[in-house]
Chains A and B, each alone.
Chain A
Amino acid sequence: MQALIALTIANIKSYLRDRAALFWTLAFPLIFIFMFGFIFQGGGSGGSLTIAWADADGSPASTQLRDAFAGQETIELRETTEDDALALMRAGEVDTVIVVPAGYGETVAAGGSGSGSGPATIRVYTDPSRQALAGTVYQAVGAVLGVVNLGGQAPLVVPDPQTIATENLNFISYFVPSMLGLSVMQVGLFAAIPLVADREKLILKRLAATPLRRWQLVGSNVLMRLLIASTQAVIIVAVGALVFDVQISGSIAFTAVFVVLGSLAFLALGYVVASFARTEDAANGMTSVIQFPMMFLSGTFFPIDQMPDALQTVARAIPLTYLSDALRQVMVGGAPFAPLWLCAAVLSVWLIGGYAIASMKFRWQ
């Protein structure tokens, strides 16, 4: 145990002193997040609201309410039917949907004369995974209804909160879990390079001449990579939440599970690379050959369903697709590409397959 810990610390020190490794695994994802974060920050929220307006009543009262909303400088209205409005919102085209139900005019009239059974309601749809936007929506709705209700004894119109899961998260919310997936991939995959270097420099052979056992060597390597992946996860989530206001609506525990499962799966892939690469340069090359297609085909930068069919087939086979998809689902409530159990299963298959191949093919000397 003492040896395992000492070796893990030694590995971490070596890693922290290796600027190239630090760049790829720590700085690179952050640079991407900042770059894309600032480029796309204006999209979605940022003052103005786009509301899909569905009027199922068609009364003078509902028209009046519409005009009250349309009169706001910061609000842009798109009038449509309820179904189309919800479709627009799911597709991320509008920020919220307001539905004026049939019978609204009568209820308002009854309420105005004091004979009604209660206030009229309008249905307001928000996405719980986008709390900041939901807040902005209710603030705007409240401001308009405040004028409509004119401070009467009882309010004439109240919002009826509805929730809906939107498919397209705003870009940064989509991007942060994707980048976490990407960096987890790099932490695992890049384990091949120092391992091959250690073998090339005969460090593995030298260790074999000590009482250190192989399980301690592998254990320390896994432990170190998990620590790096966890540190990175914390940094990426913190930057996403604090700098770009990404709402982490999902389960931290599930996030951790997938970070660990993903790290182990890609570590297995890294060990496969280390089993076939004879030199550090070869390991570098093989790592790049694996990482770049994964990076671009896994839905990290563009959603998979916007890819050509042939590429979609590839995307369906690579583990990063499932890791990033799972992370988007559990962190920000992203629409699933595959159910979580399938994501976990695919990663587990890569994990077991990778370790099986590596344990057969890895040469210690």
Chain B
Amino acid sequence: MDTVTATPTPAADPFDPADPADPAGASVIAVRGLTKRYGDTQAVAGIDFDVRKGEVFGLLGPNGAGKTTTVEILEGLRTPDDGHVRVLGVDVAKQPDALKPRIGVSLQTAALYPKLTVTEVIDLFRSFYSASRSTAELIDALELGERRHAQTSVLSGGQRQRLAVALALVNDPELVFLDEPTTGLDPAARRSLWDLVLGMKAQGRTVLLTTHYMEEAEILCDRLAIMDHGRILEMGTVDELVSKRFQERAVRFDATTAVTVPELQALPAVRSVKDEGEMLVYTTDVGATIGALLALAESRDVELGNLAIRRATLEDVFLDLTGRALRD
């Protein structure tokens, strides 16, 4: 296993303190040239990123983008084929055991002993760490009080996720990994989990989360990396990502056969048009475009359904980067 990642020249320290991306090794997570392949599938194709102390960093991308593989390598659960990973100053490939007491982990699927109660599972995980928070405190913090004596197999999806997060916080970790923490949850449960993540940030913890929900990434993440096919396509704050690509705004309406994409592209100030079930017209001058659009619609005697004007979102960024929608 170790022979795979032999570094040809020992002098080439990928974590050079002079590295502008990681001055003096200040990053909580530093990833350089990370590569992982499963058979013919290139799960992670050479990515670099840094996570700074105290921020919520998101890996955003569709299923199969390589997010989970990346996170599991950072957690010490998988060995990379190539590249370097340093988490909390620890070289994960060399000393995974030095890292584990200091991180909290919530896997993509809440992995819980089905026959144990909430209290019992928390107590069990506490026994794995030399220092831990009290069970009562965790149960209160995660609002599991009413279910403390329920076996985990009868918990709702939201309760299971909250318990999984409680287990990630048992050792009072500096760094928390949350892999798809809200997948499959109803909106209320999702909001309650978002509050938990924002709470972690307020407590000064660093959080790395993966998601394929734009809204979640926009609300929670200080910075994020958009991943697809094992690569990072773009990285930055939500504002940076959006404004870098879209100075313009989007005019949207329900797709109709009455107006065609080439016709829309010919309208004044239009930069681009996307037909994704809804019609998206990106424009640098909303007034000019919408006036012409309405005139066009009137000439065809159609009404544009759900006409709206909005700022570009991460969804638009993703669409622009990959040519397809993230949702579904």
Chain A interface (Cβ within 8 Å of chain B)? 2-3, 5-7, 10, 13-14, 17-18, 198, 201-203, 205-212, 365
Contacts and interface: CB of A to CB of B under 8 A. Distances in A.
A210 B128 contact: yes
A17 B151 contact: yes
B115 A201 contact: no
B291 interface: no
A205 B77 contact: yes
Nearest to A9: B124
Contact of A211 (B101, B111, B115, B167): B101
B100 A210 contact: yes
Contacts of A212: 128
Contact of A209 (B105, B112, B121, B151): B105
Contact of A210 (B115, B120, B129, B151): B129
Interface residues of B, number: 26
17 contacts: A5-B127, A14-B116, A18-B115, A201-B111, A202-B111, A203-B111, A203-B112, A208-B77, A209-B75, A209-B76, A209-B100, A209-B103, A209-B107, A210-B100, A210-B128, A211-B100, A211-B129
Nearest to B167: A206
B128 A206 contact: no
Contacts, number: 64
A337 B121 CA distance: 47
Contacts of A5: 127
Q: Which 3 A-B pairs have the closest CB atoms?
A: A6-B127, A206-B111, A202-B111
B107 A201 contact: no
Contacts of A6: 123-124, 127-128
A198 B113 CA distance: 8
A210 B114 contact: no
A2 B76 contact: no
A3 B127 contact: yes
Given A3-B127, A7-B127, A211 B77 contact: no
A202 B97 CA distance: 19
Interface in B294-308: none
A14 B129 CA distance: 21
A206 B129 contact: no
From B76, B112, B113, B114, residue with most partner A Cβ within 10 Å? B113
A7 B112 CA distance: 13
Contacts of A201: 109, 111-112, 114
A209 B77 contact: yes
Contacts of B15: none
Contacts of B49: none
A186 B178 CA distance: 39
Contacts of B116: 10, 13-14
B253 interface: no
B107 A365 contact: no
A201 B121 CA distance: 15
Nearest to B130: A211
B129 A202 contact: no
Contacts of A17: 115, 151
A35 B312 CA distance: 76
A205 B111 contact: yes
Given A17-B115, A206-B111, A211 B128 contact: yes
B213 interface: no
Given A13-B120, A201-B114, A210-B129, 15 more contacts: A7-B127, A10-B113, A14-B114, A17-B151, A201-B109, A201-B112, A202-B107, A203-B113, A205-B107, A206-B105, A207-B128, A209-B76, A210-B100, A211-B128, A365-B77
B132 to A, nearest CB: 11
A212 B97 CA distance: 9
B194 interface: no
A321 to B, nearest CB: 34
A206 to B, nearest CB: 4
A97 to B, nearest CB: 57
A209 B76 CA distance: 7
A201 B76 CA distance: 19
Contacts of A14: 113-116
A144 to B, nearest CB: 62
A3 B115 contact: no
A202 B109 contact: yes
B41 to A, nearest CB: 17
Contacts of A18: 115
A72 to B, nearest CB: 60
Contacts of B167: 206
Contacts of B124: 6-7, 10
A187 to B, nearest CB: 18
